[in-house]
Chain A
């Protein structure tokens, strides 16, 4: 369970960005979360409110966009979704592949603020 420390990093990072922009008030933080990031969405969401307590982000929301795993399939010569995280093979032709091109993201992509 390391989601609380991840949530605290998100709060710090968002606040730094807000400060750099002249202390804007953040309503929500938008995050891209890969299914292979090692971070669990629900645990992160429940940790986020705790991490925001007594910070300028108190009362803000965390909006998580889950990012599916994509692999490169040499057989199809293109990027494909993976069959499942328990079965790393091309969802189209079934060729096994461990060449992950997407799915490890843990990235803050947007700050929602008042107009």
Chain B
């Protein structure tokens, strides 16, 4: 600062617009009794495969839907639609992440009261999505066994913005000499206490544990809603 200038103090969060929309979404989700899970990972870690499997299995008991973000193409929405769940593609163009307003727009015309779970698949990117709250209840960060056990050390910010980790393509672990202990050390180094679940969307290994985790988180999130007289759903086993 030069002697000819003065500083006017302000305090404004740069992402306040996104945060305002995200807060409104979270409130709306809460009132509708819907549990919202977002997925972040690098491109190719297996978000869509995991989601397709998850939608198919959860659908036997719950009403589920998904929003899927990509720079271009509707390929992922087409894949996910095979699960028979309602799916909408969000094409971001050149934007490398989803923002709360994109979620808000994509939900237009959907009756959230008719859903139990909503999944949001972010654009494949382990950097930018970390800055943007989407109003979700739970953020899962995926890392596949082919990516290297030190991925969390390379991208600590996204691991810190997520609530739990999912290690995908575990059926390939032996073939790629995946070191599970080293991967877990990396996760715990950047996020002490973080839950990590090993899954293979292909073989189904670990899916039961993952779905159990989603059930328990949803039940925990619904407790305050129930006490406020919000709509209650049949509790899963």
Could you tell me which A residues sit within 8 Å of B by CB distance? 1-2, 5-6, 9-10, 13, 17, 21, 24, 27-28, 30-31, 36-39, 85-89, 96-98, 100, 106-115
Contacts and interface: CB of A to CB of B under 8 A. Distances in A.
Given A5-B95, A88-B189, A107-B13, A38 B157 contact: yes
Interface stretch (B3-11, B45-53, B172-180): B3-11
Contact of B193 (A28, A98, A107): A98
A107 B14 CA distance: 6
Contacts of A2: 95-97, 127-128, 131
Chain B interface SS verdict (over half): mixed
A115 B6 contact: yes
A114 B4 contact: yes
Contacts of B97: 2
B214 interface: no
Given A6-B14, A17-B10, A110-B8, A38 B158 contact: yes
A27 B13 CA distance: 20
29 contacts: A1-B96, A1-B127, A2-B131, A5-B95, A6-B15, A9-B15, A9-B17, A13-B14, A17-B8, A17-B10, A24-B8, A38-B131, A38-B158, A86-B153, A87-B190, A88-B190, A88-B191, A96-B192, A98-B194, A100-B160, A107-B11, A107-B12, A108-B12, A110-B10, A111-B8, A111-B10, A112-B6, A113-B5, A114-B6
Given A9-B14, A108-B12, A38 B128 contact: yes
Contacts of B188: 96
Interface of B: 1, 4-17, 95-97, 127-128, 130-131, 153, 156-158, 160-161, 188-194
B189 A115 contact: no
Nearest to A27: B5
Nearest to A18: B8
Contacts of B190: 85-88
Given A9-B17, A100-B160, A38 B9 contact: no
A31 B16 CA distance: 14
Given A88-B191, A112-B8, 6 more contacts: A9-B17, A107-B12, A107-B14, A108-B10, A111-B10, A114-B4
Given A111-B7, A111-B8, A85 B157 contact: yes
B183 to A, nearest CB: 14
A6 B194 CA distance: 29
B12 A13 contact: yes
Nearest to A30: B7
A89 B193 CA distance: 12
A112 B1 contact: yes
Nearest to B189: A87
Nearest to A71: B192
B192 A88 contact: yes
